[in-house]
Amino acid sequence: MISDNLSTYLIISILLFSLGIYGMIRHRSFIGMLISGEFILNGASLNFMAFNKFLAPNPAVGQIFALFIMGLAAAESAVIVSIVLMVYHRFHSIDPDKVHDLKH
């Protein structure tokens, strides 16, 4: 059965990672890049949970790591959104190509 197989989860998580990379290059705004970054983080945390279920000696470690990733993602997105707010007020754009040198 496919849901009892480690490789299934690993392939899902690398697909999530590739989706994140694709979206990060494709999106032309900081918020879109933030959304794609969440996919990369989720791929990593799904990987930890899969190893936790199938390989790890102590099944609490992977869960704790996934919880830490969630906490970091929440902190990261709060900081990024406030930086985007500041950049928009200063440059009137959230296109990374227009603010690449951080000067008016």
Among 59, 100, 103, 104, binds other proteins (CB under 8 A): 59
Task: Note whether 33 binds other proteins by CB under 8 A.
Answer: no
CB of 103 to other proteins, least distance (A): 15
Q: Of 58 and 101, which has the nearer Cβ to other proteins?
A: 58
Among 60, 101, 102, 104, binds other proteins (CB under 8 A): 60
Residues from 67 through 96 that contact other proteins (CB under 8 A): 67-68, 70-90, 92-95
Three-class SS of residue 71? Answer: helix
- List C-alpha distances in Å: 4 to 52, 61, 74, 97: 13, 20, 30, 45
Q: Where are the alpha helices (DSSP H) in the chain?
A: 6-26, 30-54, 59-91
Q: Of 2 and 101, which has the nearer Cβ to other proteins?
A: 2
Buried b (16+ CB within 10 A) or exposed e, 56-69: beeeeebbebbeeb
Task: Note whether 99 binds other proteins by CB under 8 A.
Answer: no
Task: Note whether 25 binds other proteins by CB under 8 A.
Answer: yes
